[in-house]
Amino acid sequence: MLKCISPIDGSLFAEREALSCEAAREAAARARTAQPEWAARPIQERIDLVVAGIAAVGEMNDEVVPELARMMGRPVRYGGEFGGFEERGSHMAAIAKDALAAIEVGEDATTKRYIKRVPHGVVLVVAPWNYPYMTAINSVAPALIAGNSVVLKHATQTLLVGERMAQAFHSVGVPTDVFQNVFLDHDTTSELIAERAFNFVNFTGSVGGGRAMETAAAGTFTGLGLELGGKDPGYVMEDADLDAAVATLTDAAMFNAGQSCCGIERIYVHDSLYAAFIEKAVAIVEGYRLGHPLDAATDIGPMANIRFAKEVRDQINEAVAAGAKTHIARKPNDDGGAYLTPQILTDVTHDMRVMRDESFGPVVGIMKVSSDDEAIRLMNDSAFGLTASLWSADMTRAQRVGDQLETGTVFLNRADYLDPSLCWTGCKDTGRGGGLSVIGYHNLTRPKSYYLKKTTD
């Protein structure tokens, strides 16, 4: 039995029975049987159905917002995820025909040659709890449009999201076997992957989860897309717009209680701006209201699970014991459990776990730097590589710095945003592959070459 425990009060919010291995095999088999007919439909028909499904999810938003608050603690004041969900899905629909068009190699009197993009077959999407709708649509929309059938497995913490998505897409005419939501435990998921029940697996989650996916797929040649989190840095150069940098980087570190794959977890500030940056960042975080996520006045709700909050507290306490300084006094609603005071740390070093391990919570360490070279060295001193946020008025300089960073995305004067026209990708322990953009379609299809020799009279 899969159980969603609400971080609001520790109560059981929802539960669903996990499929047996045999029932899961049958679901995958139905997806495989249904896929060829789906892929044979005109691409415009598939696009229209996916766009309609996205809109149908939007019609549920009044129910979705408080439901997400109860499942994973995000305050209702932020209104859910439909804006990003629609932006990503609609962009992938808009570029589909061009992204999936055949590459014409050439035609002459004797031959015709081209490369088609064809669907893998059955795609398993394993989605996380922190942005459960937006992360799922990254793969679900392009996979369906490309002609794959999709099996969606959602995190237990956001147990009801997959049900809602499937309900919405089925309501507009996407066949039930083409898009299935399933409840699976880890062992059954791994067993199905090992049995080649799927042709491609897209997983967003922890490094440990990614390793489990690779282990399960070993020797099967099943394609994998893995996005495994990060320890994303921000670098504020001496010519930066200080107020904009402070506001954006602080929000990127604390929004969603810091539970964002591309949230900012460490900041490096040029020594000429360091003191002012700290002062302004502390003022922002001191103004945050920690509390019940159904209260419209709440800025930060509980973390999604007590064990997640414990890891963040442990990192903070270890850093303080090693000489780090805290700047935010404990907030009244910090209960020592899921409700955690957002924290800014200074006097930190890369010997501390809070500057090395993924925190995935409302804490950020800030260090002083004196040069681009020092900042580059520190930003690259990480096992992860998802995004980096640079702050400068000099785009040429930022590009030069960005070219030396081991990361998937470089932002200038922005942070914590996923542009669906760009490839969402990472390196090192952040994983491999790429979602969204034209490249997202390439990863959800395979190339198929045609060399057609013409007959002669």
Contact present, 241 and 254 (Cβ < 8 Å): no
Q: How far apart are CA 404 and CA 377, in angstroms?
A: 9
Q: Which amino acid is at 441?
A: Y
Q: Is 21 a catalytic residue?
A: no
Tokens in use for 46?
A: 């598939």
Q: What is the DSSP letter of 300?
A: B
> How would DSSP label each residue in 62-82?
HHHHHHHHHHH---GGG--SH
The distance from CA 184 to its chain's CA centroid, rounded to whole angstroms, is 20
- Percent helix, percent strand, percent coil in the chain, to nearest 5: 40, 25, 35
Q: Which of 4, 67, 81, 261 is catalytic?
A: 261
- Compute the residue count for the chain: 457
Q: Which of 67, 81, 86, 227 is catalytic?
A: 227
CA dist 302 to 130, 195, 205, 256, Å?
12, 39, 20, 9
> How would DSSP label each residue in 83-98?
HHHHHHHHHHHHHHHH
Q: How far apart are CA 324 and CA 98, in angstroms?
A: 52
Q: Is 423 a catalytic residue?
A: no
Dihedral-angle region of residue 437 (phi above 0 means left; psi in -120 to 50 means alpha; beta otherwise): left
Positions marked catalytic = 227, 261
